[in-house]
Amino acid sequence: MSKTTNNYQNFIKTNTSRFKGQWIVLFGKKIVAHGKQADVIYERALKKYPAQKISLAKIPAESTLVLWLSLNTKKN
Amino acid sequence: MVKFEYKKELDRNGEAVYRPIADVWFKSSTNNWVELHPYIDSGADITLVPYSFGKLLGFRKIFAPREKIGGIGGKMDVICVKSEIKIGDKIIKATIGWAQSENVPALLGRSEIFDEFEVSFKQREKQILFS
């Protein structure tokens, strides 16, 4: 069985409700950056932490998530 | 096989709701791998990433024409990009819907992913098995 990363395990256990609507960057048990734009906070975190050791998650703003998505092949 | 878990979150009434989360690596245009923890959504045709995450991966709007996806909450523009993702030890060339909006969750959808893996939701045990 493949192992999931420490970041994943910590994300599952961490209460992230105070970051609703934001991206977070995880480094082990720590949330080392958060904000509205994934690219901005990831690049900021990369200045202090190696890419192989950090991960990203988006915390939903709403309690209801999209339950289905249908790809409409019609172009604009 | 990879075992994923459900994460406890709170709904708007403050009650616990458990949602399935994956651990997925996305390959960027500079051949770096970026780890993301998206929701596993068996109701989504394709994997979906918000706009700023696509920018981080180096997606460009010239890659493909815009398409529409529909879901609860209406329709939105996406650009479909074929890109490599890694789940466990398996690398898959997957269709990724790059949302032209930030107001969407990151979702691991069915296209290519559920073709490569047998996916078992074991909600009672708070586990999802990809085998």
Q: Could you read off the pLDDT of B114-129 as tens digits, one per residue? A: 999 999 999 999 999 9
Among residues 91-130 of chain B, which lie with CB inside 8 Å of chain A? 97, 102-107, 109
The pLDDT tens digits for A33-70 are 999 999 999 999 999 999 999 999 999 886 555 455 67
Comparing C-alpha atoms, which of B97, B98, B96, B89 is closest to residue B117? B89
DSSP class of B43: T
Tens of pLDDT, residues B74-112: 778 899 999 999 999 999 999 999 999 998 899 999 999
For residue B73, the model assigns a pLDDT of: 63
Instruction: State the pLDDT at residue B69.
Output: 77
Nearest-angstrom CA–CA distance, B128 and B22: 9
Integer-rounded Cα radius of gyration of chain B: 15
Does the distance separating the beta carbons of B52 and A39 come in below 8 Å? yes
Mean pLDDT is lowest, of A60-64, A71-75, B16-20, for A71-75
- Cβ separation of B46 and A69 shorter than 8 Å? yes
Judge whether B60 is closer than 8 Å to chain A, CB to CB: no
CA distance B66 to chain A (A): 7
CB contact under 8 A, A71 and B77: no
Judging contacts by C-beta atoms under 8 Å, the chain B residues touching residue A28 are none
* Residues B36-55: tens digit of each pLDDT: 999 999 988 899 999 999 99
The predicted model scores a pTM of 0.92
Q: Does domain B2-130 have CATH number 2.40.70.10?
A: yes
Is residue A19 classed exposed, middle or buried when 0-12, 13-18 and 19+ CB atoms within 10 A define those classes? middle
Q: What is the pLDDT of residue B50?
A: 96
The answer to whether B69 contacts A57, with C-beta atoms less than 8 Å apart, is no
- Provide the shortest C-alpha distance from residue B116 to chain A (in Å): 15
pLDDT for res B67:
81
